[in-house]
Amino acid sequence: MIGFHIMTLFPDMVLNGLQTSIIGRGIERGYVEVEAVNIRDYAFNKHHKVDDYPYGGGAGMLMQAEPIYQCYQAILQRIREKGQDKPVRCIYLTPQGTVFRQEMARSLAKEEELILLCGHYEGVDERVLEEIVTDHISIGDYVLTGGELAAMVVVDAVARLVPGVLNNDASGETESFQENLLEYPQYSRPEVWHDKKVPEILLSGHHENVEKWRYEQSLIRTRERRPDLLVKNEQNN
């Protein structure tokens, strides 16, 4: 069981995305809990304003510290009331973070509760980040309009590693990125499609040879498409 608590200005976007498909089923079955908390609900001014101009000038608006801090405290208090007294990691989704990789997903999947902060506008007042954030994560070297899509990516990748979420007995780790290799090509019925035949070895029933072939295909595919992963492999071995 893992609980994700997402601080956002667009809770519907996050919930709509995560309540469908496999993660949605994980939620229904009680392996995953997702709450999206609207930061605006913690803006204690007349117009529920959460942004303001940056000191020193510059384009755009910043998210102010206090509504985020209050939102965070409310979530943390609910977690503590459940009897959870371990430190809780708080992830800020930002293009300035460490680039998200499978090993990071593995590490986060060991937690029981995670808090995620989605930024908007031109950023967030640095002071609240200093006080609450433990991990800065980017999902890649490009800039999104907000942290929501990034948070959904992280939640999806982490939740599928939680036992029970995937239907198959094998863990989510048997697929792409185990040992930093891409997955081998796969085939289903029919045996011939558009004049393309399923590789003979897969029909042979010879388990050992099939495994060997798949491993070779993984190597070939990784060398062609993601040679950088092979370099990482050598560094790790």
Binding site for ligand ADE (CB under 6 A): 93-95, 138-140, 142-144, 147, 150
Task: Name the minimum Å distance from CB 109 to ligand ADE.
Answer: 19
> CB nearest ligand ADE: which residue?
150
Q: Which is nearer to ligand ADE, 154 or 159 (CB)?
A: 154
Task: Considering only CA atoms, give the Rg of the chain.
Answer: 22
Count the alpha carbons within 13 Å of 53 in the hemisphere toward its beta carbon.
Answer: 5
120: tokens are 């908007």
Q: Which is nearer to ligand ADE, 95 or 173 (CB)?
A: 95
Q: How far apart are CA 94 and CA 79, in angstroms?
A: 24
Q: Which is nearer to ligand ADE, 50 or 181 (CB)?
A: 50
- Please, which residues have CB within 8 angstroms of residue 33's CB and are 6 or more apart in sequence? 1, 2, 3, 4, 27
Task: Name the minimum Å distance from CB 89 to ligand ADE.
Answer: 16
Q: How far apart are CA 222 and CA 216, in angstroms?
A: 10
Cis peptide before 190 (omega within 30 of 0): yes
162: tokens are 């939680």
Task: Name the minimum Å distance from CB 92 to ligand ADE.
Answer: 8
Task: Name the minimum Å distance from CB 10 to ligand ADE.
Answer: 13
DSSP sequence for 31-83: SEEEEEEEGGGG--STT---EEPPTT--SS-EE-HHHHHHHHHHHHHHHHHTT
For 68-165, strand residue ranges (E) read 89-99, 113-118, 135-138
Q: Which is nearer to ligand ADE, 144 or 230 (CB)?
A: 144
Task: Name the minimum Å distance from CB 150 to ligand ADE.
Answer: 3
Q: Which is nearer to ligand ADE, 44 or 142 (CB)?
A: 142
Q: How far apart are CA 95 and CA 88, in angstroms?
A: 22
Task: Name the minimum Å distance from CB 220 to ligand ADE.
Answer: 30
Task: Name the minimum Å distance from CB 91 to ligand ADE.
Answer: 10
Q: Which is nearer to ligand ADE, 23 or 139 (CB)?
A: 139
For residue 194, the one-letter residue type is: H
